[in-house]
C-alpha cells in the first residue's frame, strides 16, 4: 500500500509574516500539478488527509475535486509546533533545522511520533498534504538519521512511502527545493 506525502504549494506569505497563509499563485499551480500526478496513481478507495493549515488544505483541494473524494483534516500532519511568537519563528526554525532529534524537547518528540504513528495506522492508499518539517521528520526516522533536517522537499513535491507489514519504507524522495522555503 502506497502513501504519498505531498508538501504544500508555495505559501502566499513567508515564515514570520502570517501564522496560516494560503497559497500563492505559484502554489495553486503546484497544487494542480500534484493532483495531475497523483490522480492516475490513486484508486477510488484512496484516502486524502491534510494538515489543518490553509496552505495544505488548498494544495489538497484539486485532487479532492478530481477524485470526488472527501478530504479528512488530520492534526497530526500539522506543521511543527514552535515555542516562540510568530515574529521569532523564522530564527527558531533555522536553529531547529541545524539540530538533532535527541536534543529536542518532549513536545517535539511527541509531535514527530504522532505523525509517524498516524501514518502507520493508515489502512488504505493515502495522499497526505503536509509540511516541510513533517516530511523531514518522517524521512529522517525511516532512514535512521539523527538530524532534524534530512532533505529539502520542494513546494508541491511528492515523497512516496510504502506500507510493508507493520512498518513503512521510503520508496522515493520528492523533488528538492527550487523555490523558496516559506
Tens-binned pLDDT, residue by residue, of the chain (182 aa): 999 999 999 999 876 678 899 999 999 999 999 999 999 999 878 999 999 999 999 999 999 999 999 999 999 999 999 999 888 988 999 999 999 999 999 999 999 999 999 999 999 999 999 999 999 999 999 999 999 999 999 999 999 999 998 899 999 999 998 655 55
Of 59, 180, 75, 81, give the one whose Cα is nearest residue 133: 81
Distance between CA atoms of 51 and 118, rounded to whole angstroms? Answer: 12
Helix (H) or strand (E) holding 159: strand 158-164
The answer to pTM > 0.85 is yes
Q: For the chain, which domains are there? A: 2-172 (3.40.50.1240)
Summarised one tens digit per residue, pLDDT across range 88-140 is: 988 999 999 999 999 999 999 999 999 999 999 999 999 999 999 999 999 99
- Give the span between the Cα atoms of 176 and 29, in whole angstroms: 17
Distance of CA 70 to the CA centre of its chain: 18
Amino acid at each position: 500500500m502506497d502513501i504519498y506525502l505531498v508538501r504544500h504549494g508555495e505559501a502566499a506569505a513567508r515564515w514570520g509574516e502570517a501564522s496560516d497563509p494560503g497559497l500563492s499563485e505559484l502554489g495553486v499551480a503546484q497544487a494542480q500539478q500534484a493532483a495531475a500526478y497523483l490522480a492516475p496513481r490513486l484508486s477510488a478507495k484512496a484516502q486524502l488527509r491534510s494538515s489543518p493549515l490553509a496552505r495544505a488544505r488548498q494544495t489538497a483541494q484539486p485532487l479532492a475535486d478530481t477524485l470526488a473524494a472527501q478530504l479528512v483534516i488530520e492534526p497530526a500532519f500539522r506543521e511543527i509546533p514552535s515555542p516562540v511568537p510568530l515574529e521569532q519563528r523564522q530564527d527558531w526554525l533555522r536553529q531547529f533545522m541545524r539540530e538533532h532529534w535527541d536534543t529536542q524537547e518532549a513536545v517535539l518528540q511527541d509531535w514527530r511520533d504522532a505523525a509517524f504513528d498516524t501514518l502507520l495506522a493508515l489502512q488504505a492508499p493515502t495522499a497526505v498534504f503536509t509540511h516541510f518539517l513533517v516530511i523531514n521528520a518522517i524521512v529522517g526516522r525511516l532512514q535512521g538519521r539523527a538530524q532534524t533536517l534530512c532533505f529539502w522537499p520542494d513546494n508541491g513535491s511528492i515523497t512516496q512511502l510504502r506500507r510493508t507489514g507493520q512498518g513503512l519504507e521510503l520508496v522515493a524522495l520528492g523533488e528538492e527545493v527550487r523555490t523558496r522555503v516559506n
